[in-house]
Amino acid sequence: MPKLPWPQSWPLPAILAWALAWGVFKGLLGQGVAAAYAMGLACALSVGLSVWGSTWWRRCLIAAGFPLSLLLTLPTLGLAVLPAWAWLVPLALLALVYPLNAWRDAPLFPTPSDALAELPQYALLPVGARVLDAGCGLGHGLQALHGAYPHARLYGLEWSWPLRWICALRCPWAQIRRGDIWAADWSVYDMVYLFQRPESMPRAWDKAARELQPGAWLVSLEFEVPQHTASAHYRSHGGKMVWLYQTPLALS
């Protein structure tokens, strides 16, 4: 499956997403589709395109832009009779893609395709090693891991079921399941890869120290574990840091 388009220069992603949502909305109205249904489909598109945002607040702006702009223009569109429940549609769609209990983790940080290309130089894995992308999102991390370790068995965990479904389509060679990365058992993996946020790293360290087998690896893109020395680290071609921690890890 081809990679999703990924506009880089802000606010181009937001402008494109809002324009596409409005185009779908107006087009459906022109075809005689009921306003509530047209709004629901346009909101679904807006939320789906929120993956273009490079940060959490940008994704929220992309997802909320169309419904908010529609709300402001209802009188001029003659659609003030939209049922009240219709405004729950964008909120429900946002909750499906970004479940509330997963907001404490990184919502959706895509791994650059070449960020992990040098990883085997620092962490050599045997053929058939089990590698987990904890919080696999749309599968960018799994694709980067597949390029680095083509003979490994790759696994993905994602709490959002729409993202899990898309990831499974994009990465048919990996085993993807819906689950909580913090409740899952990491002991069966030779490497656990994360692209989370700084606040998540102490928790990841504690879990890895408890569960990973001796010799296994915890790998983090961009964010190191504070007050702990990495086994190795390097700067990827795209400029992001990759931090590697090999067990046994000392509990702090």
Q: What is the spatial distance between Cα 60 and Cα 77, in angstroms, rounded to a whole number? A: 25
Please tell me the predicted confidence (pLDDT) of residue 14.
79
The CB-based long-range contact list for 123-128 (8 Å cut-off, 24+ gap) reads: 123/191, 123/217, 123/219, 123/232, 123/244, 123/246, 125/149, 125/152, 125/190, 125/191, 126/190, 127/151, 127/152, 128/152, 128/153
Q: What is the spatial distance between Cα 173 and Cα 161, in angstroms, rounded to a whole number? A: 18
Q: Is 155:132 a contact under the CB 8 Å cutoff?
A: yes
pLDDT digit string (tens) for 154-210?
A: 999 998 877 888 899 999 999 999 999 999 999 999 999 999 888 889 999 999 999
Please tell me the predicted confidence (pLDDT) of residue 67.
80
Structure tokens at 163: 């993202």
Please tell me the predicted confidence (pLDDT) of residue 141.
95
Q: Which domains does the chain have, with CATH numbers?
A: 12-97 (no CATH), 119-246 (3.40.50.150)
